[in-house]
Amino acid sequence: MKICVVGIGFIGLPTACLLASKGFHVLGVDINEDYVNKLKTNRLKIEEKNINDLLEKSLNDKSLTLDTKPSRADIFIICTPTPLDENKKPDLSYLIEGINSILPYLNKGNMVIIESTIPLKTTQEIIRPIIETMGFQVGKDIYLAHCPERVLPGEILYELVHNNRIIGGCTENCSNKVKNFYEKFVKSEIHTTTADIAEMVKLVENSYRDVNIALANELMITCNKLGIDPYDVVSLANKHPRVNLLDFSIGVGGHCLPVDPYFIIDSFPETSKLLATARNINNSMPKYIASKIERFLNQKNNPKIGVWGVSYKKNSSDIRNSPALEIVNILKDKGYCVNIYDPLVNGINYDKIKYESIMDSNFLIILVGHDEFIEEDYEEIASLMDSPIILDGANILEKINIPKNVEHYNLMKI
């Protein structure tokens, strides 16, 4: 069975490699020729657990080939990006380009599976008509379904197999055909439903998480005003058997939670006010945290600041929509001298070596709780700084040994 995966990025590449390892002949397609060539020649280190070995093996045994154009296949899986534009409106240009690219290669009996996260009614009202312009009848000639990915970056290869899946077919026949395919490699439950419901389920999953985090963030701010420990409030409330508050934070980043709720808000603004409010609360967190940091910075003349951690969440190298980076930019825009260090993120502005980022600094601000930061020797770090103050935005103070004489504060508690 031949599979064509269109869009070999964060989700598409692990999906293509996994399917190739399961005995399928897979063609991975991406419009970025330079990226495809670098993947082909193993010149790219992909930051996803176990992916590099699997990619090399699949390319070597030819179970996976890569190209910039699709070709005939039994199954087409679309994993193209669906970002927001500058007005927080869904940008479907990559998705439509991906669908159009497979049209010349479609044959009766093919499956077309949309794994990209998509706005409501996209499968039935945008993708289905494009396919039917080719003379195919969806449900009879082509089996079209939305099967939203729900994998956690860093655990993708494991979760592709072990997470249960939702399959939303345009028709019941589409759902059943696509379910038969997923049953070949998914070891968990597979639930079939309609395309409309599958689209909403995916958006609800991330919206639920975003609203829950917004509630925790709002409670943290109230606890700060009240002068009580927000960690105690959340951990004790969660002792209730039916309460599960998530963690408050410096903000909500990544390419999912800050994006997906807007797909519902854009379609139904009148009935998604809670989602919009939650987005506004989470979007405001970097500014709130930066204002707390400034209260400390203003105690020194021309303070020198080392910031550790810029990715969107701990133990990740991904900086998309990173609240930590937003905080850094707020401080820099206000003229503060900020040196950044993040061992997981390569790039011009934040690859200062560890000690250079804090040498003679007055402040060390830890914004992301990478495991590496927990192992550090804070005695030595404090000795390199000038009357050091450590500000923790990642709730790792309890896990690290800070010398008694070094001032340190948890930014969530003050």
Please select the residue that binds ligand SAJ; options are 59, 92, 252, 391, rule is CB under 6 A: 252
Do residues 390 and 408 make contact, with C-beta atoms less than 8 angstroms apart? yes
Choose between 47 and 247: whose C-beta lies nearer to ligand SAJ: 247
Choose between 26 and 213: whose C-beta lies nearer to ligand SAJ: 213
Please select the residue that binds ligand SAJ; options are 18, 256, 344, 382, rule is CB under 6 A: 256
Rounded to whole angstroms, the Cα distance separating 273 from 270 reads 7
**Window 172 to 201, contacts with ligand SAJ (CB under 6 A):** none
Three-state DSSP class for residue 327: helix
Note whether 313 binds ligand SAJ by CB under 6 A: yes
Stretch (H or E) spanning 3? strand 2-6
Burial track 181-219 (b if 16+ CB lie within 10 A, e otherwise): bbeeebeeebebbbbbebbbbbbebbbebbbebbbbbbb
Q: How far is the CB of 313 from ligand SAJ (least distance, A)?
A: 4
Which residue bears the tokens 């420990």? 229
Please select the residue that binds ligand SAJ; options are 151, 307, 366, 385, rule is CB under 6 A: 151
Q: How far is the CB of 312 from ligand SAJ (least distance, A)?
A: 4
Please select the residue that binds ligand SAJ; options are 1, 134, 152, 226, rule is CB under 6 A: 152
Which residue bears the tokens 């825009």? 333
Rounded to whole angstroms, the Cα distance separating 241 from 234 reads 13
Q: How far is the CB of 264 from ligand SAJ (least distance, A)?
A: 14
Output the six-digit token pair for 163.
């997470």
Note whether 112 binds ligand SAJ by CB under 6 A: no
Rounded to whole angstroms, the Cα distance separating 46 from 10 reads 9
Rounded to whole angstroms, the Cα distance separating 388 from 298 reads 14
Q: How far is the CB of 22 from ligand SAJ (least distance, A)?
A: 20
Note whether 79 binds ligand SAJ by CB under 6 A: no
**Window 203 to 242, contacts with ligand SAJ (CB under 6 A):** 205-206, 209, 213
Q: How far is the CB of 388 from ligand SAJ (least distance, A)?
A: 26
225 in active site: no
- What phi, psi does 222 have (nearest 5°)? -65, -40
Choose between 153 and 169: whose C-beta lies nearer to ligand SAJ: 153
Note whether 257 binds ligand SAJ by CB under 6 A: yes
| Residue 226, number of CB atoms within 10 A of its CB | 11
Q: How far is the CB of 397 from ligand SAJ (least distance, A)?
A: 17
Output the six-digit token pair for 197.
């419901």
Rounded to whole angstroms, the Cα distance separating 62 from 57 reads 8
Note whether 286 binds ligand SAJ by CB under 6 A: no
User: Residue length, the chain?
Assistant: 414
Output the six-digit token pair for 190.
């597979």
Which of the ranges 63-71, 191-199, 234-242, 249-257 carries the binding residues for ligand SAJ, by CB under 6 A? 249-257
Choose between 76 and 312: whose C-beta lies nearer to ligand SAJ: 312
Choose between 258 and 388: whose C-beta lies nearer to ligand SAJ: 258
Three-state DSSP class for residue 289: helix
Output the six-digit token pair for 153.
């970056």
Catalytic residue among 179, 202, 313, 314: 202
Please select the residue that binds ligand SAJ; options are 115, 149, 199, 342, rule is CB under 6 A: 149
Rounded to whole angstroms, the Cα distance separating 278 from 261 reads 9
Note whether 292 binds ligand SAJ by CB under 6 A: no
Q: How far is the CB of 279 from ligand SAJ (least distance, A)?
A: 12
202 in active site: yes
What would the x/- binding string for ligand SAJ be over residues 381 to 410, using CB under 6 A?
Answer: ------------------------------
Provide the 8-state DSSP code for 391: E
Note whether 249 binds ligand SAJ by CB under 6 A: yes
Catalytic residue among 4, 256, 313, 314: 256
Q: Are strands 407-410 and 389-392 parallel, antiparallel or unpaired?
A: parallel
Write the CB contacts of 102 (distance below 8 Å, at least 6 apart in sequence). 4, 6, 70, 76, 78, 112
How many residues touch ligand SAJ (CB under 6 A)?
A: 20
Rounded to whole angstroms, the Cα distance separating 323 from 320 reads 9
Note whether 312 binds ligand SAJ by CB under 6 A: yes
Q: How far is the CB of 301 from ligand SAJ (least distance, A)?
A: 33
Binding site for ligand SAJ (CB under 6 A): 117, 149-153, 205-206, 209, 213, 246-247, 249, 252-254, 256-257, 312-313
Active-site positions? 202, 256
